[in-house]
């Protein structure tokens, strides 16, 4: 009998840290998007198109310069890449923007950040990842926490439309599907290869959604630094870190850990925009942290089984 090693624990911890680093990068996107739209007048969908298109072009340039071989993908991976780019990137942006227009940002965010529920269930169907009691409790804590953090306790006049809720649920599904598609593709493909193809496909999806008439390029000196931050930090760095983490972690655990993004969003909003958290939001943040800690604390044997799924 071989003696147990601590490698699975350190590997799992590194995966969780990678997801949290990705969440920090993603948390900056809301500030960048808000400032860009306010200063340029560009629509949310138009900005999403230029964001995805610019990201894909920069990735293509980098791959061509440093390692053109990364452009090669296996035929069996093409359907997954198309699904990930069309649903997890392009479709997600469209559905989220529509949900915000119909329901408002708060309610749309509440529904969106319950994506781990979809991921945990779908991961069981697709990858046979076990749904343990610990995972269920972690998802409940994360979902409850994000509801409180999103400010639901302060809003009493929501106009909830059934079609809006369906679209918001669709955005949560699309957001959650990124972990599932990424888990399927990350095993044999380089992270940069995956990123290039999904953002190229995502930009084509958004272009079609706008009927071939994307908004004008938001060009002036005040916008370019913000747009550069959105593309380089929020998008390329964030997604690259997350896909790398999916090589280590099961999709459900990665998705639950990614809910820490809402905590970093609140910290940045308080620091940069001077937005304050009330007691309900502080309580929600604590619940999210508890959910992430709970899903991270598993027995060594369970770690090995999860990494083999």
Mean pLDDT of the region 187-210: 86
Share of the chain above pLDDT 70, in %: 77
Does residue 301 surpass a pLDDT of 50? no
Q: At a CB cut-off of 8 Å and minimum separation 6, what does 252 contact?
A: 116, 119, 120, 123, 129, 131, 135, 179
Q: Tell the residue number behind the tokens 């680093």, with chain if given.
A: 21
The tokens for 156 are 């009493």
Which of 110-124, 182-196, 218-232 bottoms out in mean pLDDT, i.e. has the lowest? 110-124
Does residue 229 surpass a pLDDT of 90? yes
The pLDDT value recorded for residue 219 is: 59
CA atoms within 13 A on the CB side of 223: 17
46-87 pLDDT tens trace: 888 888 999 999 999 999 999 999 998 888 888 889 999 999
Predicted structure pTM score: 0.74
């Amino acid at each position: 009998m071989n003696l147990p090693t601590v490698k699975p624990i350190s590997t799992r911890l590194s995966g969780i840290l990678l997801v949290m680093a990705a969440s920090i990068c993603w948390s900056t996107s809301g500030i960048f998007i808000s400032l860009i739209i306010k200063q340029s007048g560009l629509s949310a969908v138009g900005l999403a198109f230029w964001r995805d298109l610019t990201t894909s072009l920069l990735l293509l340039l980098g791959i061509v310069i440093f390692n053109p071989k990364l452009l090669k993908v296996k035929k069996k991976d093409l359907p997954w890449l198309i699904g990930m780019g069309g649903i997890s990137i392009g479709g997600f942006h469209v559905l989220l923007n529509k949900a915000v227009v119909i329901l408002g940002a708060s309610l749309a965010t509440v529904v969106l950040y319950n994506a781990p529920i979809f991921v945990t269930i779908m991961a069981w169907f697709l990858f046979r990842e076990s749904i343990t009691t610990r995972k269920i409790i972690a998802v409940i804590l994360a979902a409850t926490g994000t509801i409180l953090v999103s400010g639901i306790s302060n809003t009493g006049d929501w106009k909830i439309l059934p079609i809006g809720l369906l679209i918001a649920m669709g955005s949560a599904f699309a957001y959650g599907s990124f972990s599932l598609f990424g888990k399927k593709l990350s095993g044999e493909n380089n992270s940069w290869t995956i990123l290039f193809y999904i953002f190229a496909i995502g930009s084509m999806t958004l272009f079609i959604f706008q009927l071939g008439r994307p908004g004008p390029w938001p060009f002036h000196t005040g916008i370019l630094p913000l747009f550069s931050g959105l593309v380089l930090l929020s998008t390329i760095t964030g997604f690259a870190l997350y896909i790398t983490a999916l090589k280590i972690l099961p999709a459900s655990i990665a998705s639950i850990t990614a809910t820490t993004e809402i905590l970093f969003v609140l910290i940045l909003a308080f620091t940069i925009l001077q937005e304050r958290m009330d007691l309900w939001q502080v309580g929600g943040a604590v619940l999210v942290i508890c959910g992430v800690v709970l899903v991270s604390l598993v027995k060594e044997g369970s770690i090995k089984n999860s990494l083999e799924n």
